[in-house]
Structures are given as structure tokens and as C-alpha cells.
Amino acid sequence: MIKLHMTILGIETTCDETSFALVENGTKIIAEVTMSQIAKHAQYGGVVPELGAREHIKNIEQLGTNFFKAIEGYPIDAVAVAAKVGLPPAVQVGESYAAALAKAKNVPLIPINHVVAHVWGVWVDNSFTEKPNFPFLGLIVSGGHTQLVTFSSPTQFDIIGETLDDAIGEAFDKVASILGLPYPGGPEIERISETGDSHAVPFTIPLEHDDTMNFSFAGLKTAVRTYVEKELPNQHETYKKYFIADVAASFQRVAFTHIAQKVEKAIKETGATQLVVGGGVASSQRLTDILFSYFEEKGIKCELFVPNRKYCTDNASVIAGYASNLATE
């Protein structure tokens, strides 16, 4: 039986963020703290799992001490931990910590699939006074996943489309590296694209004439690599930055148009009237803009829910928020 009015402590360590949150009733954040290790990994051009695990071990103790001071006096009915899908050495740090904590507090331990929890950003973001209604269509766009998911309830969902190769965030990170931009590549590409012409390079939109709701980004990434290897050496030193901005903006436009086209197919197929977006790539304002203008242009009547950036990337609030749907007496 689902117990309402629960206060759940969430822990997230699946990738490069160590995060704690205490969430009441699945939506009200009482406290949250997140520590990023991005700067450590950036020197290596991407996440190094063993380095990540070491950093989590170090950060979780320090962060935990501050966090427990902030939530002193509040009840803890359960401990939820991002347990599935992530970098195994990093995930294990959170899992062991959460298991020990649940045991010490004598409360249930709830393992959470962090990919599904990404959709819960809108529930913990209090700027959304109206939450989506079931059933709705979910779009998960992260560093490891690209999925279209129909949710008929918090726990009943079907993946109706997913990537056949690279995930969208992975493609952004790899294209950024091809362009000589630092990790994580998504925000860098978004930033540099502001000064670029998104129609400068006519990359082909992937799977445009395919009837499925699946995605593919590997071919687009290779097209960017081939183009850059051929054209970059011909650019005058002074103009290289403009060339890079044009390629980044063109890649971003094509990648997000591909997403918009597949979302359109999914909406037609399912009759969804609400689209809920989550995952690190959802922090791109450009993705929201492209989806929004695509819906307008095509006359698609679908309400778009995109949470604040801090609830798009990995965070413990969505873990605790989603867990309230799974908590049992």
C-alpha cells in the first residue's frame, strides 16, 4: 500500500555528483545539497569511474555531516538511493552509505532507477504548481540515455523509443571533444552556439524517414568529425572560433530537431497531451526552444514540462521524490 505523507532521504552518486536531499510527500524539498566533481574529471576530458568513486567517498562524508545538521529534527521515514544505471564504482559508494544509514535509522531502503527518476524533476520543482497528469509522455535525455517513455502511473511505464547507439548527452560530449571544447560538452556547445550560425553546415537529420520512435546520434557525430577533420585545417587562425561555433550550432540544431521529430511521432502514436522532459540535456534552453517552436509550427497541442536546470542533471531530490511512489508501509 502506498503511504502518503512520507519524508524520504535521497542519495545520488551515479556519476559525477554527490547529492543528498530530504523530500516530504514526494514534492516538498526540505533540504538538498549537491557537490559536483566535474572540475576533477574535466582534466581527463570525461568521467573516470574510479576517480569518481574516490571523490564520492571523500565528499559523501563531508556533505553528509553538513546535510544532517540542516535536517536536524525532521523525521526520516525511508532512505532512497540511486541504485540502478550509472558507473558501478560510483553507484556502490551511495548504495553502501544508504544501506548503513537505513540500518542505523531502522527504516526501509528503497533502491531507485535513476533514469526513470529523471522525469520527476517537475514534481520537486516548486515553480510547477500544477503537476502533469497521468498518462503522459516522458522524454529522458541524459549522458547515458535517450528514451521516450509512456507513463500510465509512476510505476507503470513503457519505453516506446530509445537510442540505437550513442545517447544524446554522450554525443554532445564527444562532439565537444572533437571541437576542442572541455567536458562536459553539452553546456559548452550550448554556450558557443549562441555566436554560431545553426544553418552553416547542413548535417543530415538522423532517421528522418524511419517509422520508429528510436534515436541515433553516432552517424551525426561521425559526420561532424569528418567535416571538422576536412575543413578545420583550411580555416585561418583568426576565424577558427567562428568555424567551431558554426559547427556546434549546426550539430545542436540537427540533434534537437531529430529529437523533436521523434517526439512528434510519439505524440501522434500515443495521443499524449503532456510531455515531461528530464535528464542533463533537458537543462539546455535551446532544446526547450526547439521543441516549443516545433510544436507551434506543426500545430501540435502538447503541454511541455521542463524543470529548472538543477533538477535536470543528477540530483538526490528526484531520487527521494520518485521514491515516495514506491514506498510501502
Residues that bind ligand KG4 (CB under 6 A): 15, 142-144, 169, 172-173, 184-187, 190, 279-281, 283-284, 313-314
Whichever of 38 and 302 has its CB closer to Zn ion, that residue is 38
Phi, psi of 17 (to 5 degrees): -120, 135
Select the span of 55-63, 248-256, 260-268, 311-319 touching Zn ion (CB under 5 A). Answer: 311-319
Interface with Zn ion includes 317 (CB under 5 A)?
Answer: no
Which of Zn ion, ligand KG4, none interacts with 172 (beta carbon under 5 to 8 A by kind)? Answer: ligand KG4
Which of Zn ion, ligand KG4, none interacts with 26 (beta carbon under 5 to 8 A by kind)? Answer: none
CB 217, min distance to ligand KG4, A = 11
Whichever of 7 and 313 has its CB closer to ligand KG4, that residue is 313
CB 283, min distance to Zn ion, A = 11
User: What residues numbered 111-150 form the site for Zn ion, per CB under 5 A?
Assistant: 142
CB 281, min distance to ligand KG4, A = 4
CB 284, min distance to ligand KG4, A = 3
Spatial distance between the Cα atoms of 274 and 277, rounded to a whole number of angstroms:
10
Instruction: Choose, by CB under 5 A, the member of 284, 307, 314, 316 that binds Zn ion.
Output: 314
CB 307, min distance to Zn ion, A = 13
CB 219, min distance to Zn ion, A = 24
Whichever of 7 and 19 has its CB closer to ligand KG4, that residue is 19
Spatial distance between the Cα atoms of 3 and 182, rounded to a whole number of angstroms:
45
- Residue ranges that bind Zn ion, judged by CB under 5 A: 142, 314
